[in-house]
Amino acid sequence: MYNEVLGYVPHNDDILRTYIGPTISYSFKKYDNLDGNDPEAQRRVSIFHDYYMTKGWKELSVYDGVYDMLKDLNNSGKEVFIATSKPESIAKKIVDQLEMKPYIRHVFGATDDEKTRSLKEDVISYGIAKTSVKLDPDNLVMVGDRSSDIVGAHKNNLKAIGVTYGFGKRQELADAKSEWIVNKPSDITKIAMEK
C-alpha cells in the first residue's frame, strides 16, 4: 500500500509490525514523529483509512487455537468481550466475518473517526460503562498483545494477560507489567478456569 499510494516504503516489515495495535495516527506520531495536525500525518491516515475500510479489514487471519479457546471459555460460562482500537463498526464486521459472534458477548471499539475514543483505556472504560452485563472487576481480565492493551487494563483497574503470539514482544508486555504472559491461547483458558 505505501509503495503504490505514498510513493515509498518507509520501513521494513519488522518495523511496520510495530504499528499494529494502537491507532494508526498514534503509530505515525510515535514512529514517524508526525503529529496528528501535521498535513502529512492527516494524508497518511486518510489513505490508510480509505484502504482499511474497504479492503484491509478483510485481510486477516486467526491464530491457531483461538477458536478452541473461545469455545472452551464459552462452554465454561465465561463471558468474552472485545475491546479494540479499531473502529467499532469494523470490529463488529470482523467478528461476523470470522464467525466468532456466538462466542462474543459484546464488541467495543473506537469511534469511526478515532478522535473521541481511540486509546485502549478509553475503549475499555466505555465498554465497562455501556455493557448491560453485571461485571465483577475481580474476575474481569484484559487479554492483549501490545503494551497499550496492558496499560489500558491497568488504567481501568483490571489485570492483564499478555500474549506472545501476537504482534508485541515478551519484553514489551513485561515492561508494561502484565500480570501473566502466555505463549498460546490454551494458556488463557487455564488462567480463566483458575479465576
DSSP 21-43: SS-HHHHHHHHH---TTSHHHHH
List the domain boundaries for the chain. 2-58, 66-194
Confidence of residue 3 (pLDDT cuts 50, 70, 90): very low
**How far is C-alpha 138 from the geometric centre of its chain's CA atoms?**
22
3-state secondary structure of 161: strand
Bridge partners, 162 (sequence order): 144, 181
Q: Largest Cα–Cα distance in the chain? A: 51
CB 133 within 8 A of CB 113: no
Task: Provide mean pLDDT across the span 115-137.
Answer: 88
pLDDT in the model for residue 28: 75
Better-predicted residue by pLDDT, 44 or 115: 44
Q: Answer yes or no: is pLDDT of 185 > 70.
A: yes
Q: Would strands 81-87 and 106-110 be described as parallel, antiparallel, or unpaired?
A: parallel
CB 193 within 8 A of CB 181: no
Cell of 131: 455493557
- 2's torsion region: left (phi>0), alpha (psi -120 to 50) or beta? alpha
Cell of 195: 479465576
What distance in Å separates the CA atoms of residue 184 and residue 186, rounded to the nearest whole number? Answer: 6
E-strand spans in the chain? 81-87, 106-110, 141-144, 159-163, 180-182
CATH architecture of 66-194: 3-Layer(aba) Sandwich (3.40)
Cell of 100: 466468532
- 122's torsion region: left (phi>0), alpha (psi -120 to 50) or beta? alpha
3-state secondary structure of 24: helix
pLDDT in the model for residue 101: 96
Task: Provide mean pLDDT across the span 27-33.
Answer: 74
**Model pTM above 0.95:** no
What distance in Å separates the CA atoms of residue 83 and residue 175, rounded to the nearest whole number? Answer: 21
